Amino acid sequence: MPEADVSHAFEAMERLRERIAMLSITSKQGDMRFTFSAGVAGHRLGQSVDDTIIRADRALYNAKAAGRNRVVLTDDTNDTST
């Protein structure tokens, strides 16, 4: 989301997560429900795109470790990646 600041990106991912949680597909085996986890990181001036993706990926794995079906914003105060 190149034109969004971190708070807007977080809000957009949270809306997406909520929408996905409302989905249900009925099959012969019963209803299937969906969850969505995401990690959000803002791009830092002078940082490569790859480094930003690594930070977002780290936040995604934190979301999964915290129980899934959530959006986690990178805590840049504790993020030591460069």
Residues 37-64: what's their mean pLDDT? 94
Residue 76 domain flag: no
Domain hosting residue 48, numbered range: 6-71
Total domains, the chain: 1
Burial letters 48-73, b for 16+ CB under 10 A, else e: eeeebebbbebbbebbeeeeebbbbb
Residue 55 domain flag: yes
Q: What is the pTM of this model?
A: 0.81
Check which CATH number belongs to the domain holding 54 and give it: 3.30.70.270
Give the pLDDT band (50/70/90) at residue 55: very high
Secondary structure (DSSP) of 3-52: T--HHHHHHHHHHHHHHHHH-EEEETTEEEE----EEE-PPPTT--HHHH
Give the pLDDT band (50/70/90) at residue 63: very high
* pLDDT at 27 exceeding the cut of 80: yes
